[in-house]
Amino acid sequence: MTTLLVARQKFIELSGRLDLAEDSETIESGTDKGADFFITHGQNWLDRQLGTAKEYGRIFDSVAADAWYLTFQKSRAIKEVWVNSDEDRWQLEKVTLQSLKEYYAGLRSATDSGQTLYYAPAMLRAIDATDIDDQGAFFNYILDDSDTYNGIIFMPPTEEAMVVETVGKFYSNTLTDNEDTSYWSQNHMMELVWAALRHLEISYRNTEGAKDWATAIFQSIEGIDKDIVEEETADTEEMEG
């Protein structure tokens, strides 16, 4: 099992930066002193640059009656939203946040709950929300600590408790503890280390060195995209009702 510790040790070995980890000459122990910063950013860069079979994921959230928003972390792009009650399941129609606000323009207290039908990606960031409800509580949801969150607003507010399934692209698991693993550490550990080394070169302002690492990475794992394309274009048949 290729863990963060293994990736960190290899990063230290190839970079020669013994100052970025303690006990860096042994594989049995190790404490981060800066190496994980480059590994994390390298992994996020890999997620953005290269399509993988694991970039799509699903989040399931239980919501109570009258709910109308959800927030979540590590989201890159929302592709679909499904909901289910205890008897039925259906897909929500994606609309713009502007059209959702225009159609449901009344006060929250004056808007009836019903069967939820629409969703829009939320705009969570507020520069100053001091007066947000001074003239009435409308469907305006913001989050104070919004920098690491994305979310959705769904309407009308649900008339019953349900489960919301959000489908989309998500960043890989953040590697924090020595024994943590991710898609990249488990399947493409060397490329993960190379991506960390690329970010190290960027910190030196060595653009040519960064380009060299990027070229090596793309050449090494170009087969990932080919496998995904082959799977996606394989013959499929529609189910008939």
Among the candidates 146, 169, 192, a domain finishes at 169
Residue 234 included in any domain: no
| pLDDT of the residue at 57 | 87
Q: Could you list the residue range(s) of the whole structural domain that residue 190 is in?
A: 4-53+172-223
| pLDDT of the residue at 238 | 63
| pLDDT of the residue at 231 | 54
8 and 95 both lie in a single domain: no
Across the chain, which has 241 residues, the per-10-residue mean pLDDT values are 90 93 63 94 90 79 96 92 95 96 94 96 89 88 84 96 95 91 92 97 96 93 64 57 56
135 and 182 both lie in a single domain: no
User: Cα 181 vs. chain centroid, distance in angstroms?
Assistant: 16
44 and 62 both lie in a single domain: no
128 and 94 both lie in a single domain: yes
| pLDDT of the residue at 146 | 77
11 and 74 both lie in a single domain: no
Sequence-separated (6 or more) residues with CB below 8 Å from residue 4:
36, 39, 175, 176, 177, 178, 179, 180, 181, 185
Q: How many CB atoms lie within 10 A of CB 164?
A: 23
Residue 235 included in any domain: no
Phi, psi (degrees; rounded to nearest 5) at 237: -125, 140
Give the torsion sign (CA, 38, 40, 44, 49): positive
| pLDDT of the residue at 228 | 55
Residue 76 included in any domain: yes
66 and 116 both lie in a single domain: yes
156 and 194 both lie in a single domain: no
pTM of the model: 0.75
75 and 162 both lie in a single domain: yes
114 and 202 both lie in a single domain: no
| pLDDT of the residue at 234 | 54
62 and 165 both lie in a single domain: yes
Residue 183 included in any domain: yes
Q: What is the number of structural domains in the chain?
A: 2
DSSP 8-state class, residue 95: -
| pLDDT of the residue at 107 | 94
165 and 71 both lie in a single domain: yes
